[in-house]
Amino acid sequence: MILKEELERCIVKQQKELQKDLGTPREIDLKLLPKFTTIISGIRRCGKSTLVRQFLHDKSPVYYTNFEDIILASFELKDFAKLEAIFKEKYGPNGIFFFDEIQNINGWEKYIRQLVDQGEQVILTGSNASMLSAELGTRLTGRQITKELFPFSYREFLWFRQKKHSLEIFREYLQKGGFPEYLKTNDNDILSNLFQDIFYRDVLQRNDLRNENAIKTLLHYAISNIGKETSYNKLRSHIGVGSGNTISQFVNHFEQAYMLFSIKKFDYSLKKQQANPKKLYCIDNAMIGINAFTFSENKGRLLENTVFLELKRQGHEVYYHKENHECDFVIRQGYHITQALQVCYALDDDNQQWEIEGLRDALQTYDLREGWLLTFNQEDRLTVDNKTIHIRPVWKWLLEKMR
């Protein structure tokens, strides 16, 4: 429980945060609908709060609370009634509720459901993917609009840098990723501290985990092997802890915190999908850089990770393909695979046949007429077995992708 006077001082102080610099525009649209909650979920420090402030900058009043504030450490579910009373006393009626990192409060969804039932306008942010889960949707009776926010896309990166595309700036994006605070300073300590904060607060503390060293070893191994096939039993052997199921739980914790993403080999059998090796990708290339290889060591993996993240930004259901040959990404819509994409830093005499055969195998398997072979800066078009293969620079593909 928190005293009303203390809560009121916190609310007045936090109101000033709404007037901060609105920052760089984002490629994601928000909306408020009657009887619905808008939920924005994503990794810490990717710009969720800034995005909401941009959306609300010309609206008033805004009932804002950031539950990361240490003053609110003792806040409980029953304190929401006290909080609401303060808002209406100080700022008047008919405000928009904006709750930042609300997942820190146990049982918060009960209060939010009450607000929605009353017809209030509500926006929530959170750093855990569980806020988008089907279970939460049940507790909110399906009355939520959900959005995921990622670190800057390439287009947003250009807006942030106030520059036009060049190969030099695209190479910078591949190395430095899209975390706004890191890009403002280029200080690796900021990135390292963010990584540690997410690891300890959103993985260890939130899930009450004890074997810190093993879990950190697993995370570093995963980040060092981005885009490579692996199995949970192989990961278990590498760190020497638990079982395959234990490793599966750890990876799920990383995914809930938005540190890692896993994709499956596509198969029409769900049982085979679960049994097949997985591939892991990371939320941001800069995090790969501070934990694993440098740009020059494995620039192809960083390019592949960039393509994967853009596919996730667009909301695609992503798998990889492997039959006679391997294709990096296939996109599923409903019951069908609708796109196939291969990523290669540069095509040359040594790898051209391998890369094309992987894409060709996917096109034939799913009866697709065309596919994309994405490179750092090569462009061409090939016809193979009556299939069209578009060879495109990743930077151009990223800038062409309009929502």
In this prediction, what percent of the chain has a pLDDT beyond 90?
A: 84
Q: How confident is the model at residue 401 (pLDDT cuts 50, 70, 90)?
A: low
283 & 399 share domain: no
286: domain range?
Answer: 153-298
Q: What is the reported pLDDT for 173? A: 98
- Average pLDDT of the chain, as a whole number: 93
Whether residues 319 and 356 share a domain: the answer is: yes
In a domain, 333, yes or no: yes
Q: Is the pTM of this model over 0.85?
A: yes
Average pLDDT for 281-290: 96
Indicate if 144 and 158 belong to the same structural domain.
no
Number of domains in the chain: 3
Residues 6+ apart with CB under 8 A from 403: 27, 28, 29, 314
Residues 65 and 17 in one domain: yes
In this prediction, residue 403 carries a pLDDT of 37
Does residue 369 register a pLDDT over 70?
A: yes
Give φ, ψ of 324 to 5 degrees.
-75, -30
CATH of the domain at 211: 1.10.10.10
Residue 83 domain-assigned (yes or no)? yes
Q: Is the pLDDT of residue 242 over 80?
A: no
Model confidence at 214, pLDDT cuts 50, 70, 90, reads very high
Q: What is the average per-residue pLDDT within 86-114?
A: 95
- Same domain, residue pair 250 and 210: yes
Q: What is the pLDDT of residues 15-43, one digit of tens each?
A: 999 988 889 999 999 999 888 999 999 99
Report yes or no on 278 lying in a domain.
yes
CATH of the domain at 120: 3.40.50.300
Confidence tier at 177 by pLDDT (50, 70, 90): very high
The last residue of a domain, from among 91, 116, 148: 148
Is residue 105 situated within a structural domain? yes
User: Does residue 124 sit in the same domain as residue 195?
Assistant: no
Structure confidence by residue, pLDDT tens digits, 52-97: 999 999 999 999 999 999 999 999 999 999 999 999 999 999 999 9
Q: Are residues 92 and 144 in the same domain?
A: yes
Q: Which of 264, 298, 332 is the last residue of a domain?
A: 298
Q: Is residue 121 part of a domain?
A: yes
d(CA 52, CA 147): 12
Q: What is the rounded average pLDDT of the residues 306-313?
A: 97
Residues 60 and 106 both lie in one domain: yes
Q: Is 306 a domain residue?
A: no
290 and 165 co-located in one domain: yes
Does 332 fall in a domain? Answer: yes
Residues 131 and 35 in one domain: yes
Any domain includes 305: no
Give the pLDDT of residue 134. 58
What pLDDT shows up at residue 402? 44
pLDDT digits (tens, 9 = 90+) for 122-165: 999 999 887 776 557 667 877 889 999 999 999 999 999 999 99
Report whether 160 contacts 24 (CB < 8 A): yes
pLDDT in tens, 314-325: 999 999 999 999
Tell which of 126, 148, 170 closes a domain: 148
Per-residue confidence (pLDDT) for residue 188, from 0 to 100: 93
Q: Do both 141 and 178 map to the same domain? A: no
Mean pLDDT on 245-271: 94
Q: What is the pLDDT of residue 328?
A: 98
Q: Does residue 244 sit in the same domain as residue 220? A: yes
